[in-house]
Structure 1
Amino acid sequence: MRVLGLMSGTSADGVDAVLAEFRGPPRRPRWRLLSRATVPYPHDLHLRLIAAGQGQSIQAADVIELGEALTEVQAAAARACDPAGNAELVGCHGQTLWHRPPQDARRGSSWQLLQAPLLAQLLQRPVVFDFRAADLALGGQGAPLVPAADAALLPAIGGWRALLNLGGIANLTLLPPQAGPDRGAAVQGWDCGPANTLLDLAAAQFSGGERRFDAGGAWAAQGQVDEPLVQLWLREPYLQQAPPKSTGRELYGQMDLERRLEELELAARRRNQPLEPADALATLTAFTAAVVAQDLARGPAVLELLVAGGGARNTTLITALRRRCRGLQLRPLAELGIGDSDREALAFALLAWWHQRGVSGSLPSVTGAAKPAVLGVCARPTR
């Protein structure tokens, strides 16, 4: 079956689309990636999504218009990826506006903005959406959902294999080895902490809105890392919390950036120096790498780290990861045929295929849910 996957992550910079073909056993399907496309959000839409995702007050009428505009970009990405309309099914994540993980006795909740019936009508294809709700209803985090797809699509190797997505948030998947005492171990996965959210917000702030991100990490490469602050930040509660855990812009957004910049400025003042934007970006970049390295050090020994997401193109961040994650092989996931921007869109294509076949798509070992669940709701077009 040919399935379109559409993904827009925490960075809210646009829509990644893939057209994939799945055949055979659901848990180990034969698959091909047929085409890909990326369509950026218009700048105004990007800014409105970021504002809404950070808790800015918004009128109900504006939510409707925001959802409609976002859905039209999703449709444009689908058409760019599959102009001939070969897909039989679409899996669309939508845009997360707010994620509330479970806490104490309170269940979690998550809001992915999308007008799915409109998207189904625009594409004249059934659309599977709202992938997180079933897991959340079962007491899970509702995230991350990609580890189940990683386990299905990628072969095991001789030791633990880790996959790192550097989107708005950094998240890890740990796949058990093909042989040895850990062969039957459960897949692991969790959200580590910030990746591009703080970096993008800082680049926009320091450039007066002229830059949406630090391309290639070139700006950060000009600065000096405040290592004592990095080590202090690593002791924060979320970063010390054991999985299952998930997070997003509600924790690592503009308010969090402002706090960190104040701490950086105070540290610079103690050295009788002004805070240079390059130093702030260098420290935030090093912090992301340090968070990932700290999490990897707590788990089983990993042989290989495969990196994807927009942050995989940040040379300064990758260099920091190599320095802090010594003892393992770090390489791009693209070497296995899944490009930097393909992995999550491919995962939601697979989750949609699983939904269509009635196959569970969640892993309680990752999300902490009471049991696995078939994920998503299907909207069908009116013909």
Structure 2
Amino acid sequence: MRVLGLMSGTSADGVDAVLADFQGRPEAPRWRLVSEASCAYPRELRARLLAVAQGEPTQAGVLLELSEAITELQAQTAKACDPEQSAELVGCHGQTIWHRPPGKGAGGVPRRGSSWQMLQGPLLAAMLHRPVVHDFRAADLALGGQGAPLVPMADAALMGRIDGWRALLNLGGIANLTLIPPRRGPERRQPVLGWDCGPANSLIDLAMSRFSDGRDQFDREGAIAAQGHAEEGVIERWLQEAYFQLSPPKSTGRELFGQDDLTRRLHDLSHCSAEDQIATLTSFTAAVVAQDLLHLRTRGRSLPVEMVVAGGGSRNPTLMRQLNTRCRGLRVRLSDDLNLPSQSREALVFALLAWWHACRHPGNAPAVTGAERTCVLGLCADPP
């Protein structure tokens, strides 16, 4: 089946699309990437998205217009990727506006998780004249799960296994890890694991925008971070914060690592130059990942032998150097080396999840999200 996948991540920099063919068994598909495309969010739209995603009070009418604009850009990107409309099905993640993992509410009463991916699914189906699978997190959340991350099972199906544990690190707005068991040996029957580590590009991008009065949206090629020196004492203190000590399952987003969090961290770095502050935030991202890998050992789990890196942060040479330095003994490589494009990997994941929906194949992993059981993910909107 030919499927179109659409993804707009926590960084809210735009929409990525892939067109892919899937054949064979759902758990071990044969797949081929046909085409890919990306469309950036207009600057004003991105600014509105980020403000809403960080809790800025917003009128209902504005939210409605925002959802329409998001849907229209998704359709534009889909048409750029598949101008001949050859896809039979579309999988679209939508734009995450707010994510609330399961936890405890007022008085310590348990509270279910909830997550909002802004999209008008039926409208997108009408614009593309094809069925659209969307709202992928809802079923897992309804079963008591985190609803995220959803990529680990798809990562395992797309990448396959090696002789040891393999890690896949996605560096979007948030850093998340997938751990794939070895193909042979006593641990081959272990479940796929995964979780959100913490901030990746979110704090770096927000800091760059703040320092440049909005002119620079990210640290291009890590150039600013490369000019500074990281404050290791501050990083060590940050690593002791509650989220970074949690055991999986765990998930997060801009509601925790957004503007307010950046303000607090920059206050800790007020004695530093802008270059040192960006260097510290960049090193912090790598340190969070390295600490999570070390926690595997203390929990009696095997460490991965290689880590494949994807997402926008993989194009930041300073961040990649920090990962290599802090994750010693681990082979660090780019997903592009495995013919899995780093920019469009998550769009490919949601194409696969849509295909799994059509096959009625479960897409979540209780070991990752904490859900009661596996389930088919997504809701399907047919074109009117």
What's the TM-score bracket when you normalise by the shorter of the two chains?
over 0.9
Alignment equivalent of 2:150, drawn from 121, 145, 154: 145
Q: Does structure 1 residue 158 correspond to structure 2 residue 179?
A: no
Q: Does structure 1 residue 119 correspond to structure 2 residue 121?
A: no
Distance 2:340 2:37 in 1: 13
Q: Secondary structure at the match of 1:33?
A: strand
TM-score by length of 1: 0.97
Deviations 1:319-376 (A, max 9, x none): 0000000001100011111111121111100110111111111000100000011100
Alignment equivalent of 1:333, drawn from 312, 332, 335: 335
Q: Supply the RMSD in Å over aligned alpha carbons.
A: 0.6
Q: Secondary structure at the match of 2:380?
A: strand
Distance 1:154 1:318 in 2: 21
Distance 2:225 2:335 in 1: 24
Alignment equivalent of 1:381, drawn from 373, 380, 383: 383
2:195 maps to which residue? 190
2:374 maps to which residue? 372
1:229 maps to which residue? 234
2:26 maps to which residue? 26
Q: Secondary structure at the match of 1:21?
A: strand
Structure 2 residue identity aligned to 1:14: G
Q: Secondary structure at the match of 1:302?
A: coil
Distance 1:241 1:358 in 2: 33
Q: Give matches, 1:1-383, under 5 Å.
A: 1-104=1-104, 105-265=110-270, 268=271, 275-299=272-296, 300-382=302-384
Distance 1:28 1:183 in 2: 15
TM-score by length of 2: 0.97
1:271 maps to which residue? none
Q: Secondary structure at the match of 1:74?
A: helix
Structure 1 residue identity aligned to 2:268: E
Structure 1 residue identity aligned to 2:58: I
Distance 1:35 1:106 in 2: 42
Distance 2:274 2:362 in 1: 46
CA apart distance, 1:301: 1.4
Deviations 1:193-218 (A, max 9, x none): 00000000000000010001011110
Structure 2 residue identity aligned to 1:242: S
Deviations 1:3-54 (A, max 9, x none): 0000000000100100010011110011001111111001110000000000
CA apart distance, 1:310: 0.2
Deviations 1:155-193 (A, max 9, x none): 210100000000000000000001111111110000000
Distance 1:340 1:156 in 2: 18
Structure 1 residue identity aligned to 2:6: L
Mark the runs of 5 or more structure 1 residues left unpaired by the alignment: 269-274
Distance 2:163 2:357 in 1: 31
Distance 1:151 1:339 in 2: 15
Deviations 1:292-318 (A, max 9, x none): 000111222111000000000001000
Structure 2 residue identity aligned to 1:27: E
Distance 2:277 2:354 in 1: 41
Distance 1:146 1:223 in 2: 34
2:299 maps to which residue? none
Mark the runs of 5 or more structure 2 residues left unpaired by the alignment: 105-109, 297-301
Provide the identity percentage: 63
Q: Secondary structure at the match of 2:305?
A: strand
CA apart distance, 1:152: 1.0
Distance 1:293 1:216 in 2: 21
Distance 2:154 2:144 in 1: 21
Deviations 1:80-122 (A, max 9, x none): 1111111000000000000000014211000000011111011
Structure 1 residue identity aligned to 2:120: Q
Q: Secondary structure at the match of 1:99?
A: strand
Q: Secondary structure at the match of 2:15?
A: strand
Distance 2:366 2:322 in 1: 32
